[in-house]
Structure 1
């Protein structure tokens, strides 16, 4: 089983409810998963997003660029939440999502991987380690980066926040 990065878009009232009732948020994710959730198919309306197995490569590359928001791990654990796969989910507030959206607009995919080789990811032991044997594997990361950028910008447009977790 692969480890994948996941995101759930929540409005202000939903964020407050998730903080009061973290079990509600997990049930909401499960309902969306069962219903198809709109991942990558709902455009700006998508509630869920996945970065697939590229999550740690995205983290490595964004940190390397000094990205101002932790898009991969979130910025604060959801209080009282249980393990959703590889730990509890973390929250990114609407204000921090807006900051991330602005920073993403200034960082195109080519600049994200500028000066980086797949071998650098392998050397840093970035998950999944076997993927970085091929130099063109960085295209996977830039494709996931584009999709994540689109999702985050759509979330920011609605002034929503997100829950982030690895499952």
Structure 2
């Protein structure tokens, strides 16, 4: 089974409730994911987004740039949350989402991957290592990064928080 980076936009009120009731949060997120599965909205209007198996590569690339927010794993734990796949969810506050969106807007995919090749990801043992060992280009990472940017921008514009997890 693959580890997939997952995101769900939530309002501040939904985040407050999620922090006190993670079971409710999981039901909310699953309902939204099911509702969007059929329509497959563009990233900006979507309430949920997955970045497939690019999460580790994106984290590696963003850390190289001293990115101000952990947009891969989140900044805070959801208290008393059960495992949502490969661990419990974490979250970003609306202020952290805004900081991330502003920073993402300044970094096009070409700049994110400049000077880095699959051999660098393989040497750093970035998941999924086998992909980088085969020499696959970083196009796959760039495609998902370019979905993350408008997703965060829309969330910031609406004052949303974010739940993040590996599913």
Global fold match (TM > 0.5):
yes
C-alpha contact 2:43 2:49 (8 A) present in aligned 1: no
Give the count of matched residue pairs.
167
The aligned counterpart of 1:166 is: 166
Question: 2:84 is matched with which residue?
Answer: 84
Pairwise CA RMSD of aligned residues? 1.5
| Structure 2 counterpart of 1:99 | 99
Q: Provide the rounded CA distance (Å) in 1 between the counterparts of 2:74 and 2:90.
A: 5
- Measured in 2, the distance between the counterparts of 1:135 and 1:115 equals 15
Relative to the length of structure 2, the TM-score reads 0.94
Q: Are the counterparts in 2 of residues 69 and 100 from structure 1 also a CA contact under 8 Å?
A: yes
- The list of structure 1 runs, each at least 4 consecutive aligned residues, that deviate by more than 6 angstroms after superposition, is none
**What residue is the counterpart of 2:50 in the other structure?**
50
5+ residue gaps, structure 2: none
Deviations 1:81-135 (CA, angstroms, capped at 9, x unpaired):
1111111100100000000011111111111011101100011111111111354
SS at match of 1:7: strand
Against the structure 1 CA distance between its residues 70 and 55, is the aligned structure 2 distance closer, same or farther, given a 3 Å change threshold? same
Query: Alpha-carbon deviation of 1:5?
Result: 0.1
Counterpart Cα distance in 2 of 1:7 and 1:130? 25
Residue 33 (structure 2) aligns with: 33
